Amino acid sequence: MGPPGAGKGTQAVALAARINGAHISTGDIFRENVARQTELGQTAQRYMDAGEYVPDEVTNAMVADRLAQDDARDSFLLDGYPRTLDQVAKLDEILTDLGSTLDGVVALTVVEDELIGRLLERAKVSGRSDDTEDVIRHRQDVYRTETEPLLAVYRDRGLLIEVDGMGTPDEVGKRIADALPA
Ligand code: ADP
Protein backbone atom coordinates (compact mmCIF):
# COMPACT_ATOMS: atom_id res chain seq x y z
CA MET A 1 0.00 0.00 0.00
CA GLY A 2 0.97 3.61 -0.36
CA PRO A 3 -0.15 6.82 -2.02
CA PRO A 4 0.22 7.32 -5.78
CA GLY A 5 3.91 7.94 -6.47
CA ALA A 6 5.13 6.04 -3.41
CA GLY A 7 6.84 3.48 -5.62
CA LYS A 8 4.37 0.64 -5.09
CA GLY A 9 4.61 -0.69 -8.61
CA THR A 10 8.42 -0.80 -8.71
CA GLN A 11 8.72 -2.48 -5.33
CA ALA A 12 5.80 -4.83 -5.96
CA VAL A 13 7.44 -6.34 -9.05
CA ALA A 14 10.68 -6.99 -7.14
CA LEU A 15 8.92 -8.35 -4.07
CA ALA A 16 6.65 -10.66 -6.07
CA ALA A 17 9.73 -12.10 -7.77
CA ARG A 18 11.44 -12.57 -4.42
CA ILE A 19 8.50 -14.50 -2.91
CA ASN A 20 7.96 -16.31 -6.19
CA GLY A 21 4.35 -15.17 -6.24
CA ALA A 22 1.93 -13.80 -8.80
CA HIS A 23 2.17 -10.01 -9.09
CA ILE A 24 -1.41 -8.76 -9.18
CA SER A 25 -1.62 -5.04 -9.93
CA THR A 26 -5.17 -3.76 -10.27
CA GLY A 27 -3.89 -0.61 -12.02
CA ASP A 28 -1.98 -2.73 -14.58
CA ILE A 29 -4.99 -4.98 -15.21
CA PHE A 30 -7.21 -1.94 -15.74
CA ARG A 31 -4.67 -0.35 -18.11
CA GLU A 32 -4.38 -3.59 -20.15
CA ASN A 33 -8.14 -3.66 -20.47
CA VAL A 34 -8.25 -0.02 -21.51
CA ALA A 35 -5.61 -0.72 -24.16
CA ARG A 36 -7.63 -3.65 -25.53
CA GLN A 37 -10.86 -1.67 -25.18
CA THR A 38 -12.63 -4.53 -23.43
CA GLU A 39 -15.92 -3.85 -21.67
CA LEU A 40 -14.06 -3.72 -18.35
CA GLY A 41 -11.58 -1.28 -19.87
CA GLN A 42 -14.32 0.99 -21.15
CA THR A 43 -15.90 1.07 -17.69
CA ALA A 44 -12.60 1.66 -15.90
CA GLN A 45 -11.24 4.31 -18.23
CA ARG A 46 -13.51 7.18 -17.29
CA TYR A 47 -12.79 6.70 -13.58
CA MET A 48 -9.05 6.37 -14.09
CA ASP A 49 -8.83 9.43 -16.30
CA ALA A 50 -10.57 11.46 -13.59
CA GLY A 51 -8.34 10.06 -10.83
CA GLU A 52 -11.31 8.34 -9.19
CA TYR A 53 -11.46 4.78 -7.99
CA VAL A 54 -13.17 2.26 -10.21
CA PRO A 55 -16.37 1.10 -8.42
CA ASP A 56 -15.79 -1.57 -5.80
CA GLU A 57 -18.03 -4.20 -7.36
CA VAL A 58 -16.07 -4.02 -10.62
CA THR A 59 -12.68 -4.14 -8.92
CA ASN A 60 -13.65 -6.85 -6.43
CA ALA A 61 -15.00 -9.16 -9.14
CA MET A 62 -11.82 -8.70 -11.17
CA VAL A 63 -9.57 -9.52 -8.20
CA ALA A 64 -11.67 -12.55 -7.21
CA ASP A 65 -11.17 -13.89 -10.73
CA ARG A 66 -7.47 -13.18 -10.77
CA LEU A 67 -6.76 -14.72 -7.37
CA ALA A 68 -8.52 -17.92 -8.43
CA GLN A 69 -6.01 -18.47 -11.25
CA ASP A 70 -3.41 -21.21 -10.91
CA ASP A 71 -0.33 -19.02 -10.70
CA ALA A 72 -1.71 -17.29 -7.59
CA ARG A 73 -2.44 -20.49 -5.69
CA ASP A 74 0.79 -20.76 -3.69
CA SER A 75 1.60 -17.11 -3.25
CA PHE A 76 0.67 -13.71 -4.59
CA LEU A 77 1.41 -10.06 -4.06
CA LEU A 78 -1.47 -7.59 -4.36
CA ASP A 79 -0.40 -4.20 -5.70
CA GLY A 80 -2.97 -1.43 -5.41
CA TYR A 81 -5.67 -3.55 -3.78
CA PRO A 82 -7.49 -3.22 -1.43
CA ARG A 83 -8.00 0.56 -1.47
CA THR A 84 -11.38 0.91 0.23
CA LEU A 85 -12.96 -0.58 3.34
CA ASP A 86 -15.43 -2.42 1.13
CA GLN A 87 -12.51 -3.98 -0.74
CA VAL A 88 -10.95 -5.08 2.56
CA ALA A 89 -14.17 -6.90 3.50
CA LYS A 90 -14.46 -8.47 0.07
CA LEU A 91 -10.82 -9.55 0.07
CA ASP A 92 -11.39 -11.27 3.42
CA GLU A 93 -14.24 -13.25 1.82
CA ILE A 94 -12.26 -14.09 -1.31
CA LEU A 95 -9.33 -15.38 0.75
CA THR A 96 -11.60 -17.39 3.06
CA ASP A 97 -13.17 -19.03 0.01
CA LEU A 98 -9.72 -19.85 -1.36
CA GLY A 99 -8.48 -21.09 2.02
CA SER A 100 -5.76 -18.44 1.94
CA THR A 101 -4.54 -15.66 4.23
CA LEU A 102 -2.46 -12.49 4.09
CA ASP A 103 1.04 -12.78 5.60
CA GLY A 104 1.62 -9.04 5.73
CA VAL A 105 0.71 -5.62 4.41
CA VAL A 106 3.63 -3.45 3.32
CA ALA A 107 2.92 0.28 3.38
CA LEU A 108 5.36 2.76 1.84
CA THR A 109 5.48 6.22 3.42
CA VAL A 110 6.58 9.24 1.39
CA VAL A 111 5.94 12.95 2.07
CA GLU A 112 3.35 14.55 -0.21
CA ASP A 113 5.64 17.09 -1.91
CA GLU A 114 7.94 14.30 -3.01
CA LEU A 115 4.99 12.29 -4.36
CA ILE A 116 3.75 15.12 -6.55
CA GLY A 117 7.29 15.75 -7.82
CA ARG A 118 7.82 12.10 -8.71
CA LEU A 119 4.49 11.84 -10.52
CA LEU A 120 5.14 15.01 -12.51
CA GLU A 121 8.52 13.55 -13.54
CA ARG A 122 6.86 10.26 -14.49
CA ALA A 123 4.25 12.18 -16.48
CA LYS A 124 6.96 13.27 -18.91
CA VAL A 125 7.58 9.66 -19.97
CA SER A 126 4.63 7.53 -18.84
CA GLY A 127 2.03 8.63 -21.34
CA ARG A 128 -0.53 7.84 -18.63
CA SER A 129 -3.66 9.90 -19.08
CA ASP A 130 -4.02 10.24 -15.29
CA ASP A 131 -0.57 11.82 -14.82
CA THR A 132 -1.63 15.45 -15.30
CA GLU A 133 -1.13 17.83 -12.36
CA ASP A 134 -4.83 18.27 -11.47
CA VAL A 135 -5.51 14.55 -11.61
CA ILE A 136 -2.31 13.78 -9.68
CA ARG A 137 -3.44 16.09 -6.86
CA HIS A 138 -6.92 14.62 -6.90
CA ARG A 139 -5.53 11.06 -6.67
CA GLN A 140 -3.64 12.10 -3.52
CA ASP A 141 -6.87 13.41 -1.96
CA VAL A 142 -8.76 10.25 -2.86
CA TYR A 143 -5.97 8.18 -1.31
CA ARG A 144 -6.09 10.15 1.97
CA THR A 145 -9.86 9.88 2.23
CA GLU A 146 -10.53 6.38 0.94
CA THR A 147 -7.37 4.36 1.49
CA GLU A 148 -5.39 5.80 4.40
CA PRO A 149 -7.98 4.49 6.91
CA LEU A 150 -7.08 0.94 5.82
CA LEU A 151 -3.68 1.29 7.46
CA ALA A 152 -5.33 1.29 10.91
CA VAL A 153 -7.35 -1.80 10.01
CA TYR A 154 -4.26 -3.79 9.11
CA ARG A 155 -2.27 -2.31 12.00
CA ASP A 156 -4.97 -3.58 14.38
CA ARG A 157 -4.66 -7.01 12.79
CA GLY A 158 -0.91 -6.97 13.41
CA LEU A 159 -0.18 -7.23 9.69
CA LEU A 160 1.09 -3.73 8.88
CA ILE A 161 4.74 -3.33 7.94
CA GLU A 162 5.50 0.37 7.42
CA VAL A 163 8.58 1.15 5.36
CA ASP A 164 10.16 4.53 4.58
CA GLY A 165 9.72 5.00 0.83
CA MET A 166 12.15 7.90 0.47
CA GLY A 167 15.42 7.22 -1.38
CA THR A 168 16.36 5.16 -4.42
CA PRO A 169 14.35 2.08 -5.43
CA ASP A 170 17.27 -0.11 -4.31
CA GLU A 171 17.40 1.51 -0.88
CA VAL A 172 13.66 1.11 -0.42
CA GLY A 173 13.80 -2.49 -1.67
CA LYS A 174 16.45 -3.31 0.88
CA ARG A 175 14.38 -1.74 3.66
CA ILE A 176 11.40 -3.85 2.65
CA ALA A 177 13.48 -7.03 2.59
CA ASP A 178 14.86 -6.23 6.06
CA ALA A 179 11.40 -5.49 7.45
CA LEU A 180 9.77 -8.70 6.27
CA PRO A 181 9.54 -11.70 8.53
CA ALA A 182 12.19 -14.30 7.59
P1 ADP B 1 -1.48 4.94 -8.67
O2 ADP B 1 -1.27 4.22 -7.37
O3 ADP B 1 -0.29 5.74 -9.10
O4 ADP B 1 -2.76 5.75 -8.69
P5 ADP B 1 -2.33 2.50 -10.07
O6 ADP B 1 -1.76 1.99 -11.33
O7 ADP B 1 -2.21 1.64 -8.87
O8 ADP B 1 -1.63 3.91 -9.86
O9 ADP B 1 -3.88 2.84 -10.29
C10 ADP B 1 -4.31 3.63 -11.37
C11 ADP B 1 -5.83 3.83 -11.33
O12 ADP B 1 -6.48 2.55 -11.45
C13 ADP B 1 -6.39 4.42 -10.03
O14 ADP B 1 -6.32 5.82 -9.99
C15 ADP B 1 -7.84 3.91 -10.10
O16 ADP B 1 -8.62 4.64 -11.00
C17 ADP B 1 -7.66 2.51 -10.67
N18 ADP B 1 -7.49 1.51 -9.59
C19 ADP B 1 -6.39 0.78 -9.33
N20 ADP B 1 -6.57 -0.03 -8.28
C21 ADP B 1 -7.83 0.20 -7.83
C22 ADP B 1 -8.61 -0.29 -6.77
N23 ADP B 1 -8.13 -1.22 -5.90
N24 ADP B 1 -9.87 0.18 -6.62
C25 ADP B 1 -10.37 1.08 -7.46
N26 ADP B 1 -9.70 1.62 -8.48
C27 ADP B 1 -8.43 1.19 -8.68
DSSP string, 23-58: EEEHHHHHHHHHHTT-HHHHHHHHHHHHTPPPPHHH
Per the annotation, the verdict on 118 as an active-site residue is: no
Per the annotation, the verdict on 73 as an active-site residue is: no
Confidence at 2, pLDDT banded by 50, 70, 90 = very high
Is 133 inside any structural domain?
yes
Is 3 inside any structural domain?
no
Per the annotation, the verdict on 137 as an active-site residue is: no
Confidence at 123, pLDDT banded by 50, 70, 90 = confident
CATH number for the domain spanning 127: value is 3.40.50.300
Is 78 inside any structural domain?
yes
Ligand 1, atom 12, lies closest to the CA of 27
Whether 181 has a pLDDT exceeding 80, the answer reads no
136 CA distance to ligand 1 centroid (A)?
Answer: 12
Residues sharing a CB contact under 8 Å with residue 170, sequence separation 6 or more, in sequence order: none
pLDDT at residue 130, as a whole number: 85
Is 151 inside any structural domain?
yes
In this predicted model, what pLDDT tens digit does every residue of 64-77 receive, in sequence order?
999 999 999 999 99
Q: Which domain holds residue 82?
A: 8-179
Quote the pTM value. 0.93
In this predicted model, what pLDDT tens digit does every residue of 3-26 receive, in sequence order?
999 999 999 999 999 999 999 999
Residues having CB closer than 6 A to ligand 1 are 4, 8, 26-27, 30, 47-48, 51-54, 59, 80-81, 83, 87, 130, 139
% pLDDT > 90, the chain: 88
